Amino acid sequence: MLSITYAASAADAAAALVVLAGPDGALSAGAAAADAATGGAVKAAARAARFEGDVGSIVELFAPAGLATQRLLIVGTGPADKIDASVAERIGGAIAARLLTSGETTATVDVTGTVEGTLAAHLAHGAVLRSWRFDQYRTRLKDKQKPTLAGLTIIGGGDAAATHERLSGIAGGVARTRTLVTLPPNILYPESFVEQAMDLAALGVELIILDDAEMKRLGMGALLGVAQGSVRPARILAMRWNGTGKDDVKPVVFVGKGVTFDTGGISLKPPAGMEDMKWDMGGAGAVTGAMHALAARKAKAHVVGVVGLVENMPDGNAQRPGDVVTTMNGQTVEVLNTDAEGRLVLCDAIWWAQETFNPEIVVDLATLTGAIIISLGHEHAGMFCNDDGLAAQLAAAGSAVGEKLWRMPIGDAYDKLIDSDIADIKNVGPREGGSITAAQFIGRFVKPGVKWAHLDVAGTVWATKPGALHDKGATGFGVRLLDRFVAENFEA
């Protein structure tokens, strides 16, 4: 993870110096000083590059005369009165993206008079998030392709320490999620997912693990039905963090779909693109990363994360279209499509979580349907919710951290579409409204009085091109959203 230090002023000349500038030629104190030292080269370069000061836009000068630096970056901030935490993070992300493989190992970022205090910490946070890379299996990278940037020194940022410490814990959770989502399926499967999470105990997280035998005893026929075609046994992992200091506070419960690889089972997916289904555990990854974030920053809240972990494979023991399975709460399900497996995992995991922890609020995250991508593309995750207040809280949290949600409808008319002719419920409805009927399925396993939200994150956990705070690949979507949701609504 990128190292961040804060200083009142630069101790030595930096090999790379970063200064800030806004629209209409507005220079920060650091940029103005650099312009004076270089005889107006900063302003001249900005004019030549048609630099307008947009957030994250960059003009780069090499070995500028008058400065003892080999590289000078002028980075746009947008209008000064519009700089908030989100903008500061985008500025930091742009800096990290430009310098990550530049050959520079460190850089000094002068934010004097522009991005100070809390905002300076958010700039650093953006840089840390954007600098994450997964090169574990890339053995033939050329030197110029390898990350070199190891640290940033931020000068003039003022008192950013408390905010920085909190954000560092969150960044650790995001990094954990991105790693889980990126790992190949021969490395990450239900048992090894649990192993990857064992070090959360060192942060104070209580871990509970259910194996095949225990789930069978509990009657989790839906979850185990998905897993029966794989040689990899299923697991449920529960992670509890209680930072309230009290034993009588009901927890908020997050539940994640953890299909570590999804072939579709007997209802086999097309081969093209099937490799992407290693990230069908993105919901479980987000819940695990959120628990890391909450524990690392010592959140004063009681939160439980539960992930149902299976691999969906098509061997001779796999469940068939037409099978009927019995869930933990006794409802029977006619399995019409074995590729609609995530809801079968979630229904047993959610019911067990309610039985075990007696929550008033349950939020599940799942890469559940391709239909949500057709509806919303990759800009929003779909939100289905039985409570207007909870929906508003989640939407506000997502908006605050740039992990946007769009509320979708649920209701009786949709619920009737999943009634089965031979069982209580069928696991797919008609082609129309596929993400909605999937949510309705999960909703049948939410106890009366429990506030529940389902977040379909199929379009947001993986990106085919870089974003402001992530490279292409795993985004870590959901970690910061859940952390902010807890921080704004359940901490004193």
Cα 57-469-109 angle, rounded to 5 deg: 55
Nearest to 185, CA basis, from 288, 134, 259, 269: 259
Catalytic residue, chosen from 133, 269, 404, 447, is 269
The three-state secondary structure class of 290 is: helix
Alpha-carbon distance of 349 to 344, in angstroms, equals 9
pLDDT tier for residue 10 given thresholds of 50, 70 and 90: confident
- Average pLDDT over the chain reads 97
Element (H, E) at 354: helix 342-357
pLDDT at site 14? 82
Structure tokens at 217: 């005893």
Domains and CATH numbers, the chain: 3-159 (3.40.220.10), 167-489 (3.40.630.10)
pLDDT at site 167? 98
At how many degrees (to 10) do helices 118-130 and 85-99 cross? 40
Catalytic residue, chosen from 130, 166, 343, 484, is 343
Residue 484 has pLDDT above 90, yes or no: yes
pLDDT tier for residue 13 given thresholds of 50, 70 and 90: confident
Question: What is the model's pTM?
Answer: 0.97
Residue 19 has pLDDT above 80, yes or no: yes
pLDDT at site 128? 98
**Quick check: 122 and 167 in contact, CB under 8 A?**
yes
Residue 149 has pLDDT above 90, yes or no: yes
pLDDT at site 363? 99
Give catalytic status of residue 343 as yes or no.
yes
Alpha-carbon distance of 218 to 371, in angstroms, equals 32
Give the count of beta carbons closer than 10 Å to the beta carbon of residue 44: 13
pLDDT digits (tens, 9 = 90+) for 280-339: 999 999 999 999 999 999 999 999 999 999 999 999 999 999 999 999 999 999 999 999
Residue 134 has pLDDT above 90, yes or no: yes
pLDDT at site 260? 98
Q: Look at the alpha carbons of 270, 273, 279, 282 in this order and tell me if their dihedral is positive or negative.
A: negative
**Tell me, what DSSP letter sits at residue 91?**
H
pLDDT tier for residue 369 given thresholds of 50, 70 and 90: very high
pLDDT digits (tens, 9 = 90+) for 91-105: 999 999 999 999 999
pLDDT at site 427? 98
Among residues of the chain, what percentage have pLDDT more than 70?
Answer: 100
pLDDT tier for residue 371 given thresholds of 50, 70 and 90: very high
**Tell me, what DSSP letter sits at residue 188?**
-
pLDDT digits (tens, 9 = 90+) for 223-267: 999 999 999 999 999 999 999 999 999 999 999 999 999 999 999
Residue 11 has pLDDT above 90, yes or no: no
Sequential DSSP letters for 44-62: HHHHHTT----TT-EEEEE
Residue 419 has pLDDT above 80, yes or no: yes
pLDDT tier for residue 460 given thresholds of 50, 70 and 90: very high
